[in-house]
Amino acid sequence: MRSEMCQGRGARLLATAALLVLGAICPALADEKPGDCLGVDFDAPHPIAIGKIVTDKPRVNFIKSAWEDAACPADSDACSAQAYLVPGDLVLLGKKNGAYTCASYQSAEDRTQRWTNGWLLAVSLAPVTPVPSPARSDWIGGWVRAGGEIDITEAGDGRLKIHGEAIYRAAQDVHNGVIDATAKPAQGVVAFADDGKVAFDKAGADSCVVRMQRVEALLVAEDNGNCGGVDVTFAGFYRRKE
């Protein structure tokens, strides 16, 4: 992800200043080089990939990007960042670079709106398959993450009503965004553009485009970065409201 990308859960994500980079799921930045992991891009034809940390070690450290150290990413102490994950953590996955995969992390349990971007060794990741055919009850309800929430209700005729609000706390301002659409699940995905009257794959360049999946007990959302003010995104892992 390329928005509010900073630290994540507690002390185990005490990232260096180099990792505290802004980002959101959006088109790649013009100055991003192959060795840089600045976040996960939105790819309209393909739902975002999710990975789970699988290792017999107690932790997996993020790997620095080339913009931080020209010799990175590499399997060296110099390229190992302070931020780390533990077995079972879920991440959003992006591009690959040799043995490394670009990943974005923020736990659905986090109360602070912060993300960590960085390379991870691909061997420490296992692909997570979204729920292939979620029941209606799997979608319906209130979902929340730090900086955003989504409410899904019945709309009739097999459709769902989706209302969401997200914020981004800038240095001296708060940016916000709203989604309000009706859409019908298809092939395990809820995807829509703007209010849902325009097909997802027919959306214009300035449309707000959103796609959602169910993964384990969570709702996973992604968008194209056009659903609110500067740096506002609905992307991420959502837990059910308590």
pLDDT value, residue 32: 83
Q: State the CB neighbour count (10 A cutoff) for residue 176.
A: 14
Place of tokens 């990413």: 73
Q: pLDDT value at position 203? A: 94
Residues 79/63, Cβ–Cβ less than 8 Å: yes
Residue pair 197/109 in contact (Cβ under 8 Å)? The answer is no
Written as one letter, the residue type at 34 is: P
At 80-104, the pLDDT tens digits run 999 999 999 999 999 999 999 999 9
Instruction: Provide the β-strand partners of residue 237.
Output: 220
Any idea where the domains of the chain sit in the sequence?
Answer: 11-127, 136-240
Q: How high is the mean pLDDT of the chain?
A: 88
Per-residue exposure over 161-173, b if at least 16 CB sit within 10 Å of its own CB, e if not: bbebbbbbeeeee
Range with lowest mean pLDDT among 8-17, 123-132, 151-160:
8-17
Name the CA dihedral angle for 169, 170, 175, 176, rounded to a multiple of 10 degrees: -30
> pLDDT tens, 98-137?
999 999 999 999 988 888 999 999 999 999 999 999 999 9
For 35-90, the pLDDT digits (tens) are 999 999 999 999 999 999 999 999 999 999 999 999 999 999 999 999 999 999 99
Cβ proximity of 151 and 219 under 8 Å: no
| pLDDT for position 151 | 98
What pLDDT, on a 0 to 100 scale, did the predictor assign at position 72? 97
What's this model's pTM, rounded to 2 decimal places? 0.87
Does the pLDDT value for residue 15 go beyond 70?
no
Q: How many CA atoms lie within 13 A of 83 on its CB side?
A: 27
